[in-house]
Amino acid sequence: MSEASENLNITDMAELVQKEAQDQLKIQKDKDKMIMLSLSSGGKWHLLQEYLIEIEADCKLKEGLGQRFPTLTELIQLLTKKIELEYTDDEETKKALINCVPASKNTISYWHKMSGWNEAVIDKMKSFGLFTPEKRAEVIESLRKTASEGDVQAAKVWLTMSGDYTDKVDVSDAKFEKYKEYANALRSDIKVIKE
């Protein structure tokens, strides 16, 4: 064999090996994706999106406590970390899911723009139990106590929630005019009682 044909054969073999490796990688990615989809709930979001929604809900709650919201790159890292924690006992599934984690920030940005994403994050925040009727009652009672101790802002919030206070009132409203009449009548009755 000549040197030229030997180089051609080596080049052909290298291309063949590279193509086979790419085919194997595609087959593995397809398997990984099938595993990820099989673990999904069958709803609007697949498993990785559900995990990211949960992560973002947690981060938004922490953001309210003074922590900054993570960057897209940090969200991808948090998603990978969540998978590692969730599947400590199942190496195959863990590896498959980590292989499905988007490497591109563009994919995460695309997910954020999907219809219903923000609502899903808010719903997940609500599911953490922060907005239960009991906790609402605690906050309202705390507002009432603080208002009764003389805190003007708490009183304003309390009265606004109860419907007894509004910042701007349309004076042409017939109900408001009736309310003013009743309030004036009550005030005059109170003056008579005090005297």
Select the more confidently predicted residue: 24 or 96: 96
To the nearest 10°, report the CA torsion of 83, 84, 85, 87.
80
For the residues 16-41, what does the mean pLDDT come to? 63
Give the Cα separation of 183 and 195 in Å (integer). Answer: 19
Q: How far apart are CA 160 and CA 125, in angstroms?
A: 25
The model's confidence at residue 162, banded by pLDDT at 50, 70 and 90, is confident
Q: Is residue 100 domain-shared with residue 67, that is, in the same domain?
A: yes
Confidence of residue 170 (pLDDT cuts 50, 70, 90): low
Q: Same structural domain for residues 16 and 99?
A: yes
Last residue of a domain, one of 108, 127, 146: 127
Angle at 10 between CA 8 and CA 16, to 5 degrees: 100
Query: What is the residue range of 63's domain?
Result: 3-127
Alpha helices in the chain (DSSP H): 3-39, 47-63, 72-86, 91-100, 105-113, 117-125, 133-148, 152-162, 174-194
What does pLDDT average to over the chain? 78
Task: Answer with the one of 104, 127, 150 that is the final residue of a domain.
Answer: 127
27 and 115 both lie in a single domain:
yes
State the Cα–Cα distance between residues 30 and 158, nearest whole angstrom: 56
Residues 17 and 87 both lie in one domain: yes
Comparing 84 with 37, the larger pLDDT belongs to 84
- State the pLDDT at residue 74: 94
User: How many structural domains are present in the chain?
Assistant: 2
With a cut of 90, say whether residue 40 has pLDDT above it. Answer: no
Which three-class secondary structure state does DSSP give residue 105? helix
Least confident of 33-42, 85-94, 147-156, 172-181: 33-42
Residue 139 and residue 123 in one domain = no
Q: Are residues 14 and 52 in the same domain?
A: yes
- Report pTM: 0.54
Using one digit for the tens of pLDDT, what is the confidence trace for 106-161?
Answer: 989 999 999 999 999 988 888 876 667 777 788 788 888 888 898 888 888 877 77
pLDDT in tens, 62-82: 877 778 999 999 999 999 999
Examine the fold and report which residue of 97, 127, 157 is the final residue of a domain before the chain moves on. Answer: 127
Same domain, 113 and 138: no
Instruction: Round to the nearest angstrom and report the end-to-end CA distance of the chain.
Output: 125
- Integer CA distances (angstroms), 23 to 16, 94, 95, 100, 140, in order: 10, 22, 19, 17, 61
Work out the burial of residue 143: count CB atoms within 10 Å of its CB; fewer than 13 is exposed, 13-18 middle, 19 or more buried: buried
Residue pair 36/96 in contact (Cβ under 8 Å)? The answer is yes
